[in-house]
Amino acid sequence: MGRFTAFRFTVDPSPLQVVVLARHAGASRFAFNQCLALVKEALDARHRGVPVVVPWSGFDLINAFNSWKCSAAAGRRFVVDAAGSVEVVVTGLAWRARVCQQVCEEAAVDLGRGLSAWAESRRGNRPGRRVGFPTFKRKTRTRPSFRIRCKTTKAGRASIRVGDPTAGPRSVCLPRIGILRVREDTRRLRRMIRTGRAHIRYATVSCRAGRWTITVTVQAVDLHPARQHPPRPDTDSSGWVGVDRGLAALVVAADRTGRQVLRVDDAPRPLRAALPRLRRLSRQVSRKQRGSRNRAEAVARLARAHLRVANVRRYFLHEVANRLVKTHDRLVLEDLHTAGLLRNRRLAAAISDAGWADLARIIGYQQRWRGGHAIAAPRWYPSTKMCSACGTVGPALPLSVRIFRCGECGHAADRDVNAAVNLAVWAEEHVQTRDPEVRGPVINASRGDGSGRRPRAGETSPDDGGTPPPRISVTAGTPEKGGVS
């Protein structure tokens, strides 16, 4: 099994199943908050000088929550007999038998990953922005969601089944929840599971804009060799295609010879198209009384409109990424500082509507699936104002200028094509060879450590197996974001 992929289906639940799904989502949120409360209590006790063990990893948090849910702190009952004597009966969580216990365990694992990410970021060992200390989840601001792992019995029956014969092809069966009807066809996933090319790892159920979805994550084999790019020798540095992302044209791709291989001018721009409707629905929400049923219905209508915008954008980005990945095995994109560009109030809406960061992410993992390469050029590489013919760097070009003209050699070209050519040239000059250890090309650049895969907060690490928490001095209560004690 060489890759992880996910299949998302829209659930068509009955009214009783909606209650069951909401109950499991609430149990996941409750377990996360309770585990965080246990961590904070232990940190406060350590700050007072009490020698206690702080549950830090996912394994330790699961054990701590399992011990707490059966204790008197979780629930107790006072029994008074006829003589007037009172007896305390420990019940623990009264509702713990009504939900799947894996939901609480996965919530504890998520908290453990968040704590590890905060600790690594505080030490400076984690790249990217500083990660804050985990906070409690609120019912009104947290998206209902929970995760269940797939276990296999001794008889070989999986706990999560897709297209069960007793329920029909368009169904997903979850433990303790039962059969959930889905709207999309599951034929492709069922075929992969039946032929042994995929194994279900876990299923994530979430609700957004009143619509429940289930995402089945599977570990699948590599793509067929006919669908993968043929391998290139390590000494071959040609074949790179530069991909320039913009607003007038979403994507312009060209090689170093100046041949334009793809140009996408017909981006749907779903946010701009839906902006009048979003404004009208937002005004309807503001006119409703807070806490009323009418306001809740208006908020649901507005959320459904935003969800449609996101779905249209995601579908189009996948189409563009497929067109690039299927035809070219070496792609180079510019490392755009999207968060900084969004500070421009005149272009923030258009940049958000384009989805530049999502497009780069999709191209990256699809190239890995097909055995290709997708790298990022340095953020300060002057691809737009550099002449692709002579290499002269000119002044910055305003967005209104669509034709690049070199003041030295007189070369004229479309500014997007010129930028794409410069990216392709940079890749051929800086990519040296392929390092099998990092599973990616080694870049002769001044910034970063190459294009190898870097760890993220959501990844499973050896710390989830019961590693003791790090020795970090913290103050009482919740540490401040980015603070140093």
Active site residues: 244, 334, 416
Angle at 219 between CA 233 and CA 116, to 5 degrees: 95
Neighbouring residues of 374: CB distance < 8 A, sequence distance ≥ 6: 331, 332, 333, 360, 363, 364, 367, 368
Do 183 and 14 contact (CB within 8 A), yes or no? no
419: amino acid identity, one letter: A
**Phi, psi for residue 457 in degrees, rounded to 5:** -70, -30
**Residue 478 burial (CB count, 10 A):** 16
3-state SS of the chain is: CCEEEEEEEEECCCHHHHHHHHHHHHHHHHHHHHHHHHHHHHHHHHHCCCCCCCCCCHHHHHHHHHHHHCCCCCCEEEEECCCCCEEEEECCCCCHHHCCHHHHHHHHHHHHHHHHHHHHHHHCCCCCCCCCCCCCCCCCCCCCEEEEECCECCCCCECCEECCCCCCCCEEEECCCEEEEECCCCHHHHHHHHCCCEEEEEEEEEEECCEEEEEEEEEECCCCHHHCCCCCCCCCCCCCEEEEECCCCCEEEEECCCCEEEEECCCCCHHHHHHHHHHHHHHHHHCCCCCCHHHHHHHHHHHHHHHHHHHHHHHHHHHHHHHHHHHCCEEEEECCCHHHHCCCCCCHHHHHHHCHHHHHHHHHHHHHHCCCEEEEECCCCCCCCECCCCCCECCCCCCCCCEEECCCCCCEEEHHHHHHHHHHHHHHHHEEEEECCCCEEEECCCCCCCCCCCCCCCCCCHHHHCCCCCCCCCCCCCCCCCCCC
Are 280 and 267 in contact by the 8 Å Cβ rule? The answer is: no
